[in-house]
Amino acid sequence: MVELSIELGSVLLLAFGLKGLAKIRTARTANGLAALAIGLAVVGLLLQQGLDGWPWMLLGLGIGGGLGAVLALRVAMTSMPETVALFNGCGGMSSLLVAIGAVQLPTPLNLVGQVSVLVSVLVGAITFSGSLVAMGKLQEWLGTPGWTLRPQRHAVNIMLAVACLVCCVLVLKGMAVTLIPLTVLSLLLGVGLTLPVGGADMPVVISLLNSYSGVAAAAAGFVVGSELLIVAGAMVGAAGLILTQVMCTAMNRSLTSVLFGGALGAGSSEAGDGAGGREEYTNVTSCSPEECALTLEAAERVIFVPGYGLAVAQAQHSLKELARLLEQHGIEVRYAIHPVAGRMPGHMNVLLAEADVPYDQLVEMDDINPDFPRTDVVIVLGANDVVNPRAKSDPASPLYGMPVLEVDQARTVFVVKRSLGSGYAGIRNDLFELPQTSMVFGDAKQVLQSLLQELRSLGVGKVAVGSGSAR
């Protein structure tokens, strides 16, 4: 009875935890509740089955839990997306291993159990290899090789899927050995499905893989006969699907085009109708940090638009320093946050929060768009696709319809960028050629540092002006 109430309590806590995670006020407590729920579930299970095999349990706890804790506490906020992908993949791997272990137990599995083993292996393996590919792409260890975008990739993936199904049937017919080829083929399928997806769409894929890992956990629940595991897995699986849908909506992409459409922009550059990313920029003005500083000094309202380039350069602290200096000079400073800026929704919020940027200075897209026309200077830091005016004007562009930050409305725009290379989605950006736009080439952190130096040598911040100094 005790075990049952513990299990029920743990399900309730999990449900409340998941619900609370979707609200800012409750999110942190909710995360703790969910962790507590898992702890309770473990206690309940151990009460039920005893501590038989405890050295093995300790081994898993020490190595897995220890490594997880170290990584989680050490990893930089900038590489959060790939960290989540890695954790997710390991969850999938765990379900896969449990299923492979379960078939070797002396107690024979019934049909439901056997099917669950197959689902667990298949989905677990896809989650594992898919998540690792996603991590590799986010870390920029892996690109999107051209051959993965050929139409034949669909045929290859379909063949892999069919081969997986054949293996499943063979396993059900009693050939347990075919679990090995099934594992290998599913791992390959995970790679085949994830590799062609463009980097800009990676968050959606990670969210989807997260949903898969829930499904794999639920399947493992069937294998070992644990209702708790089934409920929790099903809950995460379903919630993950919803979250995936929410993210797709934020990026104005459909799930099918993310999964099967290949990398954004790759198709259009082949079409050669001028809408592609290979076209050269002709009318680009570039300027030095010094000129940029002069303009900044004279401005009244400044908006920063952070993007992935800021994250890569680890420049959030320099940005905060620059913003403080400008505020001391009486300049109004705000940050425009596009919902999918960076490599993951909310990425920029997390990053700027780390640098102690005040919450009320981060303004979401819909609220800040009307303010751009009366903004003196916009500084785009390593963002590209989320400020591309083509998303509004060019129906042929793959970005068309995606809500963007309308920085082209501002009086002056500085784009800090390493080079004129195309954005993550590989699409040409008309913003760079506008008359009010100047490019400041360089690494975001170095540019910000030289801006700081230039502004200080101009005397900005030494004599406090206006109300900005009262903070």
Q: Token pair for residue 146?
A: 């051209």
* Catalytic status, residue 385: yes
Identify which of residues 103 and 165 has a Cβ nearer to other proteins in the complex: 103
Identify which of residues 241 and 410 has a Cβ nearer to other proteins in the complex: 241
Identify which of residues 61 and 169 has a Cβ nearer to other proteins in the complex: 61
Q: Token pair for residue 103?
A: 């078939």
Residue of 8, 16, 50 whose CA lies nearest to 33? 16
Q: How far is the CB of 41 from other proteins (least distance, A)?
A: 6
Per the CB < 8 A criterion, the answer to whether 127 and 212 are in contact is yes
Identify which of residues 27 and 465 has a Cβ nearer to other proteins in the complex: 27
Q: How far is the CB of 446 from other proteins (least distance, A)?
A: 25
Q: How far is the CB of 377 from other proteins (least distance, A)?
A: 25
Q: How far is the CB of 108 from other proteins (least distance, A)?
A: 11
Q: How far is the CB of 171 from other proteins (least distance, A)?
A: 18
Q: Which of 366, 385, 394, 430 is catalytic?
A: 385
Classify the C-alpha dihedral 417-422-427-433 as positive or negative: positive
| Cα–Cα distance list, 377 to 315, 406, 412, 424 (Å) | 19, 13, 5, 24
89 Cα distance to chain centroid: 14
Q: How far is the CB of 362 from other proteins (least distance, A)?
A: 8
Burial class (CB in 10 A: 0-12, 13-18, 19+), 317: middle
| Cα–Cα distance list, 260 to 36, 103, 187, 197, 320 (Å) | 39, 34, 18, 8, 40
Q: How far is the CB of 100 from other proteins (least distance, A)?
A: 7
Greatest extent of the chain over all pairs of C-alpha atoms, in Å: 82
Identify which of residues 231 and 292 has a Cβ nearer to other proteins in the complex: 231
Identify which of residues 124 and 289 has a Cβ nearer to other proteins in the complex: 124
Identify which of residues 262 and 468 has a Cβ nearer to other proteins in the complex: 468
How far is the C-alpha of 230 from the C-alpha of 244, rounded, in Å? 21
Residue of 221, 201, 218, 212 whose CA lies nearest to 240? 212
232-237's contacts with Cβ under 8 Å and 24+ in sequence apart are 232/11, 232/14, 232/41, 235/14, 235/15, 235/18, 236/18, 236/210, 236/211, 237/211, 237/212
447-451's contacts with Cβ under 8 Å and 24+ in sequence apart are 447/289, 447/416, 448/315, 448/318, 448/319, 448/321, 448/322, 448/381, 448/416, 449/318, 450/289, 450/290, 451/289, 451/292, 451/293, 451/296, 451/322
Identify which of residues 81 and 398 has a Cβ nearer to other proteins in the complex: 81
Q: How far is the CB of 46 from other proteins (least distance, A)?
A: 7
Per the CB < 8 A criterion, the answer to whether 119 and 216 are in contact is yes
- Return the active site residues: 385
